[in-house]
Amino acid sequence: MAVMSQHRRLRWSWLLVGALVATAAQGRLYRWVDEAGMVHYTDTLPPAQVDRGHVEMSNKGIVVGTTSPAKPPEELQREEELKRLREAAERAKQQQEAADQVLLRTFRSADDMIMTRDGKLATVDVMALITRGNIRRQHDWLRGLRADAADLERAGKPIPAQLSDRILNAENAIRESYASIVEREQQKQEIRASFANDLERFRKLKGMPEIVEPQRDDAPGMASKNLVPCADAGACDRLWARAVAYVRRHANTPIQAAGPNILITAQPEKPEDISLTLSRIQDKRGQGSLLFLDAQCMPESGTDATCTSAQAQSILDGFSDATLGIGTDG
């Protein structure tokens, strides 16, 4: 009896479809399912069913189209994000392939790349050396201006505004020169990092074994011990006070200039003298500043070489930790 009842229901369903097809002889027939799971055949589609999916049939009962249920916003968002990620990955792949071709056309071997890198670093070093020569001359200029101001003070005369302006300009020129030195050092780190990545990629493309080069003191990832970054004005003020105290403790020449952004001790007059210059430099690559300490000794054979004495190096090495309050200041 159950089988007969099922056949009877199917027969009535098809009779109903046939009747609807007959009445929709000049139009279309829609098959749709309501929220309760009941199947309906109608010659018009209820507006609420437009986004729920349906089957469209011709006046002969042939399926001519199927509309899937509309996807929820969350699924559409996921699909859009996946599409964006696939497109970004494809762009990255194309860019990498283009970069690989340039790399292989530019260099014949890893040695070529190392020579090119070292040449770029040498060029930056020469520019920094020229700047250091200018700094020494700027120090001499400032010393002369301050000597003139001291003579006027001893004579009980006021210091002209023009002389005060020239002293301020000399101090700013020294600070800007040190900013250039810091920028050169950052440039060297970028060159090393860039060539390290290119070397690794070149060796991979060529199937060459990886070679670990000895790390140098100015290699990427190694913080300069005489350079301290600070994120904002408040932090910079606190660190600047510590840095000034450090310089005053270690200076063996008199303080020549002291301002909110620069502290300079007098130029060396004896072989054991060390001149220290502390600069607060605006960080061009961030919102904060950089505190930079430099040391100068008596020039050897008339050159402007950086001070390399053990005492000067010890002072520079201890600057970062002392300023940041790490360990003890020796």
Please indicate, yes or no, whether residues 194 and 150 belong to a single structural domain of this protein: yes
**Whole-number Å distance between alpha carbons of 16 and 10:** 10
Region 38-53: mean pLDDT is 77
Domain that holds residue 187: 107-208
Tokens of 315: 């002072």
Q: Is 155 domain-assigned?
A: yes
Give the per-residue pLDDT at 10.
47
Please indicate, yes or no, whether residues 201 and 234 belong to a single structural domain of this protein: no
Q: Is 61 domain-assigned?
A: yes
Region 98-112: mean pLDDT is 92
Read off the pLDDT band of 201 (50, 70, 90): very high
**Helical H segments across the chain, by residue range:** 2-23, 73-106, 110-154, 161-206, 233-250, 310-324
Q: Is 216 domain-assigned?
A: no
Give the per-residue pLDDT at 19.
47
Q: Is 73 domain-assigned?
A: no
Task: Of 296, 314, 325, 329, give the one whose Cα is nearest residue 135.
Answer: 296
Domain total of the chain:
3
**Whole-number Å distance between alpha carbons of 99 and 104:** 9
Q: Is 141 domain-assigned?
A: yes
Task: Of 68, 8, 49, give the one whose Cα is nearest residue 41.
Answer: 49
Q: Are 310 and 322 in contact (CB under 8 A)?
A: no
**Whole-number Å distance between alpha carbons of 256 and 167:** 11
**Whole-number Å distance between alpha carbons of 167 and 161:** 10
Which of 152, 182, 208 marks a domain boundary?
A: 208
Out of 67-71, 164-168, 261-265, least confident range: 67-71
Read off the pLDDT band of 24 (50, 70, 90): very low
Q: What is the pLDDT of residues 249-295, one digit of tens each?
A: 999 999 988 888 999 998 888 888 899 999 999 877 767 899 999 99
Half-sphere exposure of 30 (CA within 13 A, CB side): 15
How large a percentage of the chain has pLDDT more than 90?
A: 41
Dihedral angle at the C-alpha atoms of 174, 176, 181, 186, nearest 10 degrees? Answer: 160
